[in-house]
C-alpha cells in the first residue's frame, strides 16, 4: 500500500466518522422534536412520514455512494472501499 492509498483510506474513514456523528445528531434532534412538540394523531403521522422520507433519502444516498460494501445493498456501478490488493 502506497502512502497515497493510506492517506486516502484515512481521509475516507475520518469523513465517514464525521458524517455518522452528524446523522446521529440529527436523529437525536428529530427524536427530541417528536417527544416534545408533536401532539395529535394526524400531525404525528405527517411528521412521521416526513422523517421516514428523510431517512429513506439518506439510505438511498449511502447505497448509491458505494460506502456500504455489503452484498445485499451493493450498487452495480459502485466501487466501494478497497484497502488490500489495490
pLDDT in tens, 36-71: 888 888 888 888 888 888 888 878 877 776 655 544
Please give the mean pLDDT across all residues of the chain.
76
CA distance 54 to 56: 5
- Residue 72: band (very low, low, confident or very high) from pLDDT cuts 50, 70, 90: very low
Residues 6+ apart with CB under 8 A from 51: 30, 34
Q: Cα–Cα distance between 83 and 86 in angstroms, integer?
A: 7
Q: What is the pLDDT of residue 86?
A: 46
Residue range 4-9: mean pLDDT, rounded: 85
Q: What band does 84 get if pLDDT is binned at 50, 70 and 90?
A: low
Banded model confidence at residue 73, pLDDT cuts 50, 70, 90: very low
Flag whether pLDDT at 76 surpasses 70.
no
Whole-model pTM: value is 0.51
Secondary structure element (H or E) that encloses residue 66, with its range:
none
Is 7 in contact with 83 (CB distance < 8 Å)? no
Amino acid at each position: 500500500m502506497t502512502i497515497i492509498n493510506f492517506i486516502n483510506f484515512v481521509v475516507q474513514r475520518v469523513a465517514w466518522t464525521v458524517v455518522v456523528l452528524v446523522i446521529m445528531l440529527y436523529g437525536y434532534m428529530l427524536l427530541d422534536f417528536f417527544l416534545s412538540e408533536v401532539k395529535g394523531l394526524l400531525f404525528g403521522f405527517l411528521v412521521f412520514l416526513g422523517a421516514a422520507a428523510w431517512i429513506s433519502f439518506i439510505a438511498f444516498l449511502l447505497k448509491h455512494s458505494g460506502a456500504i460494501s455489503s452484498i445485499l445493498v451493493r450498487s452495480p456501478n459502485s466501487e466501494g472501499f478497497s484497502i488490500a490488493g489495490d
